[in-house]
Amino acid sequence: MLAGKAGSAGDDTAIETVFDAFTEHRQPSTDALSRLSLQNYVEMRSLTAKQWFVYKKKLEKALNYYAPSVWRPIYSMVAFSR
């Protein structure tokens, strides 16, 4: 997909063109990951000790258990799991 944007093999700007296209293609994903990471940091820093936060997480877990096609917690969408 991105390789088609490069010029001929001897073109000095071919690699730069490919990297520019790759950056343009990936930027929305990296921005979203950055926002989710910041949101997770704020939660871990400030909210985990609050009782309402614990109830919210329990509610999210129950909703996901009973209606997984309707509700999925953000953490389970971005966390690494096998």
Rounded distance, CA 47 to CA 32, Å?
A: 21
Q: Which of 5-9, 22-26, 61-65 has the lowest mean pLDDT?
A: 5-9
Rounded distance, CA 68 to CA 42, Å?
A: 26
One-letter amino acid at 20 equals: D
Q: Which residue has the tokens 């994903």?
A: 29
Contact 38, 3 (CB under 8 A): no
Model confidence at 44, in pLDDT bands (50, 70, 90)? confident
The pLDDT, as a whole number, for residue 74 is 81
Rounded distance, CA 67 to CA 72, Å?
A: 8
Rounded distance, CA 5 to CA 23, Å?
A: 13
The structure's pTM equals 0.56
